[in-house]
């Protein structure tokens, strides 16, 4: 069926709307119910009177398209919901990025500054209109949910590709700041992590964003063909065990995608936005700061503009800030979990990009696989909590365990005496686990610190997968005996019981669980 093409020109408002309507109906007279295309190339403005004309037309000609819409008119059509009621095709401005400064680079495109106030993100995919639409939608969602981000206001043609244009004034990426003003490292860490925490505490309504767990599961399953059977199965099982999490993750949170603009920290490159457990985010952060350049230090300089040492320092400091700890064991624990997913992703990516066919590719794949296998041998879960420390249960780790508990108690306004008693009970219980839970083998233990309000109660929970053993079942030592009558030993649990208000034991799901409670 032939279509009817009608040109709209100039301004359409209440002054000329009736005439425009008559004119259009005249052009369509006798054609029957044909598809109608309104060419808006020459249209500069349309008021609500003009919009009503189009609505009436749409009633009689349901197959109605408006094409070549300039950005001002598009804004009106979008604001009034017309873009959802009918097909509206924009007229694309042409932008040339030759010689423009590259200010950001993400998985799907590169961002250039086109003038003082504006940047354009040029998509790698030549057929990117859907990607652009997707990114606009997720950016808008993020903004509504309180995440500071830039939303593109125009789609343009850049050579054979599409680009989306954002307003970004006087903005510098954190990569640029780190490269040019290394003394701002700690400030960058703080701002970068504050925004990260904000993202991770944002609950996303169901169905609005993809679940990154599905993607990571695909990566893990891919590895089944490249790892020894046991290790591959363990990897998949560990990813499967990560609980569903409906909090937001950015998905590509590195320092080129975080901008500083007019005293505000702003997130860009939103197309990877997803939901999931924060360990997925930490994995991609590890890769960007360390992983990709682990074997090739030049890579990070080319990509981020700063060296591998800066990347490593920034990652470590950010992780410490994110976990709110200075505890080296805690940082290492979470880093190791992030590395497992990070290496998995990089190995798969490299293999799919024919990394096996180059010498450097093979060397990287071999190195990453070696690291991954070593980690898989000693890490049992990818989950972590900020108030939990998971360590090898050996006496050498006692000091770090106590320091971790102290750090967690800092906010609790604990008296020095209570703090000392808690430290003491922690020592007695942890040493007990280190000596007996897995003997003569070794194993791991988790320590969790919780502080409740009103009444303020500190609860410290120890969990291990060792022999089922209830230390409370043992009879208390007789403290009235003389030195020669008293046995050496048996005092530790007794001290814990005496200094705490409550000590509870249970064996559940293959774990010894011992809780110490202290009222403050």
Partner 1 sequence: MLKINKNVEAAKAVIALEGRLDTVTAPELEDDLLAIIDGITELVLDFEKLDYISSAGLRVLLSAQKTMNKQGTMKIVHVKDVIMDIFEMTGFLDILTVE
Distance between CA 384 and CA 333 in Å, rounded? 8
Provide, rounded to whole angstroms, the least separation between the CB of residue 462 and partner 1: 15
Query: Residue 324 Cβ, how far from partner 1 at the closest point, in Å?
Result: 25
Smallest gap, in angstroms, from Cβ of residue 414 to partner 1? 14
For residues 481-491, b (16+ Cβ closer than 10 Å) or e, as one string? eeeeeeeeeee
Of 77, 19, 82, 79, which is closest to residue 43 (Cα–Cα)? Answer: 77
Q: How far is the CB of 430 from partner 1 (least distance, A)?
A: 9
Comparing CB distances to partner 1, the nearer of 95 and 496 is: 496
Residue 498 within binding range of partner 1, rule CB under 8 A:
yes
> What's the gap between Cα 374 and its chain centre?
25
> Applying CB under 8 A, which of residues 481, 501, 502, 519 lies at the interface with partner 1?
481
Q: Which of 83, 325, 499, 512 binds partner 1 (CB under 8 A)?
A: 499
> What is the footprint of partner 1 within residues 395-424 (CB under 8 A)?
395-396, 398-399, 416-417, 420, 423-424
251 binds partner 1 (CB under 8 A): no
Q: How far is the CB of 395 from partner 1 (least distance, A)?
A: 6
What is the C-alpha separation between 330 and 258, in angstroms, rounded? 26
> Of 301 and 495, which has the nearer Cβ to partner 1?
495
Spatial distance between the Cα atoms of 169 and 7, rounded to a whole number of angstroms: 37
In 3D, which of 445, 425, 440, 443 has the Cα closest to residue 499?
Answer: 425
Q: What residue has token string 């290394």?
A: 182
Judged by beta carbon, residue 262 or residue 480, the one nearer partner 1 is 480
Binding mask 357-396 for partner 1 (x = CB under 8 A): --------------------------------------xx
Nearest to partner 1 of 262, 482 (CB atom): 482
Q: Please, what is the minimum distance in Å from the beta carbon of residue 494 to partner 1?
A: 7
**Helix, strand, coil share (%) of the chain residues, nearest 5:** 50, 20, 30
Query: Cβ neighbours of residue 477 under 8 Å, at least 6 residues apart?
Result: 486, 487, 490, 491, 494
The CA distance from 34 to 24, in Å, is 13
Residue 489 touches partner 1, criterion: CB under 8 A: yes
Judge contact between 110 and 158, C-beta under 8 A: no
| Nearer of residues 280 and 462 to partner 1, judged by Cβ | 462
- Give φ, ψ of 187 to 5 degrees: -65, -45
Residue closer to partner 1, measured from CB, 378 or 417: 417
Pick from 482, 508, 509, 510 the residue near partner 1 by CB under 8 A. Answer: 482
Query: Is residue 424 a contact partner of residue 495, using CB atoms and an 8 Å limit?
Result: yes
Where along the sequence are the contacts to partner 1 (CB under 8 A)? 395-396, 398-399, 416-417, 420, 423-424, 427-428, 431, 478-484, 486, 488-489, 491-492, 494-495, 498-499
């Amino acid at each position: 069926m032939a279509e009817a093409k009608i040109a709209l020109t100039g301004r359409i408002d209440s002054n000329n709307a009736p005439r425009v309507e008559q004119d259009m109906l005249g052009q369509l007279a006798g054609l029957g119910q044909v598809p109608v295309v309104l060419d808006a190339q020459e249209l500069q403005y349309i008021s609500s009177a003009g919009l009503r004309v189009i609505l009436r037309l749409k009633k009689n000609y349901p197959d109605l398209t408006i094409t070549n819409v300039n950005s001002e008119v598009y804004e009106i059509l979008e604001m009034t919901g017309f873009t959802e009621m009918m097909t509206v095709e924009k007229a694309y401005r042409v932008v040339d990025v030759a010689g423009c400064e590259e200010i950001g680079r993400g998985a799907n495109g590169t961002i250039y500054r086109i003038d003082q106030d504006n940047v354009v993100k040029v998509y790698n995919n030549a057929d990117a209109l859907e990607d652009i639409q997707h990114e606009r939608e997720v950016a808008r969602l993020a903004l509504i949910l309180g995440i500071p981000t830039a939303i593109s206001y125009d789609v343009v043609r850049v050579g054979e590709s599409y680009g989306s244009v954002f307003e970004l004034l006087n903005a510098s990426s954190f990569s640029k700041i780190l490269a040019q003003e290394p003394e701002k490292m700690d400030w960058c860490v703080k701002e970068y992590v504050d925004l990260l925490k904000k993202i991770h505490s944002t609950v996303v309504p169901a169905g609005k964003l993809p679940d990154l767990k599905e993607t990571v599961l695909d990566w893990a399953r891919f590895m089944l063909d490249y790892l020894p059977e046991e290790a591959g199965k363990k990897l998949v099982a560990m990813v499967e065990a990560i609980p569903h999490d409906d909090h937001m993750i950015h998905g590509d949170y590195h320092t080129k995608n975080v901008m500083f603009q007019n005293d505000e920290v702003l997130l860009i490159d939103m197309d990877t936005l997803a939901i999931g457990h924060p360990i997925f985010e930490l994995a991609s952060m590890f890769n960007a700061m360390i992983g990709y350049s682990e074997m090739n230090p030049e890579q990070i300089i080319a990509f981020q503009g700063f060296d591998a040492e800066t990347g490593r320092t920034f990652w470590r400091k950010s992780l410490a800030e994110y976990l709110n700890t200075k505890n080296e064991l805690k940082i290492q624990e979470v880093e190791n979990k992030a590395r497992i997913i990070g290496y998995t992703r990089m190995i798969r990516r490299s293999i799919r990009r024919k990394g096996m066919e180059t010498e450097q590719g093979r060397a990287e794949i071999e190195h990453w696989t070696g690291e991954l296998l070593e980690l898989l041998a000693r890490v049992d879960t990818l989950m972590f909590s900020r108030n939990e420390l998971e360590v090898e249960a050996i006496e050498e780790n006692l000091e770090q365990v106590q320091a971790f508990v102290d750090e967690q108690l800092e906010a609790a306004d604990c008296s020095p005496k209570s703090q000392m008693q808690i430290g003491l009970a922690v020592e007695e219980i942890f040493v007990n686990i280190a000596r007996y839970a897995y003997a003569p083998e070794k194993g791991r233990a988790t320590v969790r610190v919780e502080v409740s309000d009103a009444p303020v109660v500190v609860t410290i929970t120890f969990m291990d997968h060792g022999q089922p053993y209830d230390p409370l079942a043992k009879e208390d030592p007789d403290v009235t005996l003389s030195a020669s009558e008293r046995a050496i030993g048996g005092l530790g649990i007794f001290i814990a019981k005496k200094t705490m208000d409550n000590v509870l034991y249970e064996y559940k799901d293959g774990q010894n669980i011992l809780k110490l409670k202290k009222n403050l």
